[in-house]
Amino acid sequence: MRGTAWSKAAGSVPSDRLRSAQRIQHVPQKQSKGKGGAQEPPRSKAIRKLESLAEGVRKSSGREKDPKSGCFCQAREHDLSSYTPICRGCGLILCAVNLPYYACPHCSAVLLSDIARSSLSARLDEEISKQIAKEEDEKSRVVQQARDAEGAFPVLHGSATPPRSSTPSRPAAQTHKVLSLNSKTKKYTVASYTNTPLSSRPASRAESEEEVHRISAPPPEVDFVKRTPDRNHPWNNMRMGDLLYVPVK
């Protein structure tokens, strides 16, 4: 008895070919892992800001200028900088928008000396550690509150309904198949699509990057009146032109 065409060679069964095709198409995604192979949790915005500031202090020379030209509000619109509140070269008051590892936006002087740079780097590392510990304590407090809430409302054994969670569950993605028939060619096609539900929660202000309003530098030229003052009227306002006095009747 002759063997069939698919029994001559090993792995020629259609199911084997489908499995091999699935193996080729399946590509595992790489996950970011930290120390010890554990996946690192996402950093908060406050920690990312402090880490970026500490990295800029360590890597910059202090002579680079801010590509966004800094801010000249002199702490009138923004908070006073807690790292470099004043330029020791020109006396410009610096707000929190002016980063300490950039040069002064007015006179281009270096804001940090070598000793101040190392001291600020150690200070930022300490602030990062405190912020991480603060967030860990907050997470532990929230978990403890959730456990206390579960203990306050015990669930009866054998109950078919699971306990409700404080956070709403997100619906799972569903795959649908659509069968379409062409009236002219009398051929049908099968198409599949996945219905992925989107979250209706709008992005918060902390998640979206906000553009800080900056006060531009004053003009380099001083605005002054170029006309010669009148000796008979030394207190005349020369900016508004000729004025006519109208007596009150």
pLDDT tens digits for range 54-91: 999 999 888 999 999 899 999 999 999 999 999 999 99
Work out the percent of the chain whose per-residue pLDDT is above 90.
Answer: 28
Band (205; pLDDT cuts 50, 70, 90): very low
Q: Which two structure tokens, joined as six digits, stand for 153?
A: 């409302």
pTM over 0.85, yes/no:
no
Average pLDDT over residues 11-33: 49
Q: If we measure between CA atoms, which residue out of 133, 135, 143 comes closest to residue 45?
A: 135
pLDDT recorded at residue 73:
94
Q: If we measure between CA atoms, which residue out of 130, 117, 118 comes closest to residue 50?
A: 130
DSSP type of residue 95 = B
Band (203; pLDDT cuts 50, 70, 90): very low
Q: Which of 158-167, 200-209, 219-228, 231-240 has the lowest mean pLDDT?
A: 200-209
What is the C-alpha separation between 50 and 54, in angstroms, rounded? 6
Work out the percent of the chain whose per-residue pLDDT is above 70.
Answer: 65
pLDDT recorded at residue 206:
40
**Contact predicate 131/109, CB 8 Å:** no
pLDDT recorded at residue 26:
43
Residue 80 main-chain phi, psi, to 5 deg: -70, 140
What is the C-alpha separation between 235 and 204, in angstroms, rounded? 56
What is the C-alpha separation between 16 and 6, in angstroms, rounded? 11
Band (40; pLDDT cuts 50, 70, 90): low
pLDDT recorded at residue 237:
75
Band (195; pLDDT cuts 50, 70, 90): low
Q: Which two structure tokens, joined as six digits, stand for 133?
A: 């510990």
DSSP letters spanning 176-240: EEEEEE-TTT--EEEEEEEE-PPP-PPPPTTTSPPPPP-PPPPPSSPP---SPPPSS-TT--TTS
- Report in angstroms the alpha-carbon separations of 212 from 76, 96, 97: 14, 11, 8
Q: Who's near 77: CB < 8 A, 6+ residues apart?
A: 71, 95, 213, 215
pLDDT recorded at residue 78:
93
